[in-house]
Amino acid sequence: MTEVSLTRPAVESGTFSIGGDLPVVRLGFGAMRLTGPGIWGEPLDRNEAVNVLRRAVELGINFIDTADSYGPYVSEGLIREALHPYADDLVIATKAGLARTGPGEWHPLGRPEYLRQEAEMSLRRLGLERIDLFQLHRVDPQVPLEDQVGVFVDLQREGKVRHIGLSNVSLGEIRRAQAVAPIASVQNRYNLADRTSEDVLDYCEVENLGFIPWFTIATGDLASPGGPLDAIATETGATPAQLALAWLLRRSPVMLPIPGTSSVAHLAENVGAAALQLSDAQSAALSEGA
């Protein structure tokens, strides 16, 4: 390992250029779980949440994903408190399109005036003049998709958004959005145990769109005693979570995993996956075992 990778191990995961001009270290950080229970309210330990963000950057992570709905608004505020003024290479992605009414409650809200309002508020909370990656958090079925994406196009033209992303979308919705705007990334649920977005990932690879999987460490029955994850963990000395992340990184060059945590110790464990190299046989065993 190089001196850089020893002090900033996340860089071992490689890089990807979002939108072709925004390079990020592939192993990022998802800031959802820095908030309170049910992704609602303040964190149980605010100091630890701030320390996690600062430590993530120290470990070489330069891609942080958040959303206005995390808290709501709490996650974005924590990012500014911990990291502002931001390093030149730090990319903060945020999202709008989900309204909150309580812990664990999420409601699509894609009215154009609401999306614009949330973009302006995110800029203010994060202390940014431009959001590097602004994502539609979920398509509101009550509003034409083209109208929702159109707001993002307007913000892009105004210089308030650099790249546009989508979240929780189907292949058909991606194509409809691409007819309105250049799309740089897609964020869907994807992990060893849930690959229902396989077609979306394959499309992102062809189109060179960043694919940002959420719920990255779910392993289902693979970690059961005698299962593929259990066996490979014994072979490598890695944890099941590290293996799940390493498998994602190996799965596609456009894959940008964003494991989240509210613990500095757990953060260090996740980052340890960046340098973990699975053999062809190990990767195949995990792929076939799910």
Q: Which residues are catalytic?
A: 70
Query: Could you tell me the strand order of the sheet in which 131-136 lies?
Result: 29-30, 63-65, 91-96, 131-136, 161-167, 183-187, 210-211
What gap in Å lies between CA 16 and CA 20, rounded to an integer?
A: 8
Name which of 63, 159, 69 is nearest 108 in CA terms: 69
What gap in Å lies between CA 160 and CA 215, rounded to an integer?
A: 29
What gap in Å lies between CA 95 and CA 72, rounded to an integer?
A: 12
Cβ(95)–Cβ(119) under 8 Å?
no
Beta bridge partners of 63: 91
Block residue for tokens 């990291």: 83
> Residue 143 CA to chain centroid, in angstroms?
25
Question: Using the 8-state DSSP alphabet, how is residue 72 labeled?
Answer: T
Cis peptide bond prior to 213, omega within 30° of 0: no
- Give 31's contacts (C-beta < 8 A, 6+ positions apart): 53, 64, 65, 66, 70, 75, 78, 79, 260
Query: What are the angstrom distances between the C-alpha of 4 and each of 9, 56, 59, 62?
Result: 7, 15, 10, 14
